[in-house]
Structure 1
Amino acid sequence: MNDRVVVSVNISEQKGTRKHPLQGPVTISMLGMQGDAHAGDWHRQLSLLAQESIDKMQGHGLVLQPGDFAENITTQGLDLLTLPIGTRLKIGTAVMMEVTQIGKECHLGCEIRKLVGDCVMPREGIFTRVITPGTIEAGDIISIISKGGTP
């Protein structure tokens, strides 16, 4: 049984801020998620972070939710850090994406770092570019189509 699923699909209009979950199917275009601050013609169109990573950060007097670390897609059951650059993922029935970056440099204005004192996204988040557009929503299955790295 495949237990790799989308927990939440999240959006924000500004970079460096928490994202809020969207209900129902969300359209993913060749530029990412319409209306999201990270959409565009570049290699970091969509960001993914595991619910397991968010759970590790619980405490600090805050209750953390999907989107709080500014990830577009909150996943569960998928060890994101084992996916090399070039890995192709399929979400739902149509959306295909390719891993382009693992982790990132945390910028100084990060809302989460200010609130919590730490941010897990730079260490455990991954970034992708869209290969095939379509719609995704919470509950969709995530499949690894091919692993990147050396063949």
Structure 2
Amino acid sequence: MGMVKAVCISEKKGVQKQNIHQANFIVNFGIENDAHAGNWHRQVSLLSFDKVEEFRNLGAPIVDGSFGENLLVEGIDFKTLPIGTKFACNDVLLELTQIGKQCHHGCEIFKKMGDCIMPREGVFAIVLEGGSIKEGDILKILE
């Protein structure tokens, strides 16, 4: 179980996301108004707040959404979970579809720090059931 620390979107791809604090999740699409939403396997990106804090402690000038994550969640190490894991938060049901990704060469964090945690720590999910998620909500791992 983890706590949602930030809910982030971007209006176009290739830029850092902005924390909007609450968002609507749409079945088989992703987050309303997010550039990465669509009918594909990476509708929502999730990242561990704890891993971001470790990176920030190295002196990284990061804010919520810096890694392109949609949901920043404290208390869950996402990369340790298997593909197919389901998460519930309020009415929203997500299913883990991918662990990690290749970092594109234009990544702002990589340019500044020489490293980026999203490729090894970030995960992606599809939206099975829609609804709203806001900061402070609890994200549960379903067995």
Please say which of residues 95-104 and 77-86 is displaced more in the overlay.
77-86
SS state at 2:93 partner: strand
Paired position in structure 1 for 2:70: 72
Give, in angstroms, the shift of residue 75 of structure 1.
0.4
Segments of 4+ moved more than 4 angstroms? none
Paired residue total? 142
SS state at 1:64 partner: coil
Matched, 1:27 2:1: no
SS state at 2:97 partner: strand
SS state at 2:51 partner: helix
Q: Identity of aligned pairs, percent? A: 45
Matched, 1:49 2:47: yes
Give, in angstroms, the shift of residue 59 of structure 1.
5.0
The correspondence for 1:120, drawn from 117, 121, 132, is 117
Native 8 Å contact 1:17 1:112 kept in 2? no
Q: Which amino acid in the other structure matches residue 135 of structure 2?
A: A
1:71-98: CA deviations, max 9, x gaps? 000000011112100000001x200000
SS state at 1:122 partner: helix
Q: Which amino acid in the other structure matches residue 129 of structure 1?
A: I
Q: Which amino acid in the other structure matches residue 80 of structure 1?
A: F
C-alpha change, 1:14 and 1:56, in structure 2 (3 Å) is: same
Native 8 Å contact 1:46 1:72 kept in 2? yes
For the residues of structure 1 that align with 2:58 and 2:98, how far apart are their CA atoms? 28
Matched, 1:130 2:136: no
Q: Which amino acid in the other structure matches residue 16 of structure 2?
A: R
Native 8 Å contact 1:54 1:65 kept in 2? no
1:14-51: CA deviations, max 9, x gaps? 2222111013x311112001111110000000000011
* TM-score, normalised relative to structure 2: 0.93
SS state at 2:40 partner: coil
SS state at 2:66 partner: coil
Please give the residue correspondences for 1:32-111 in structure 2 after superposition, counting only pairs within 5 Å. Answer: 32-58=30-56, 61-91=59-89, 93-111=90-108
SS state at 1:57 partner: helix
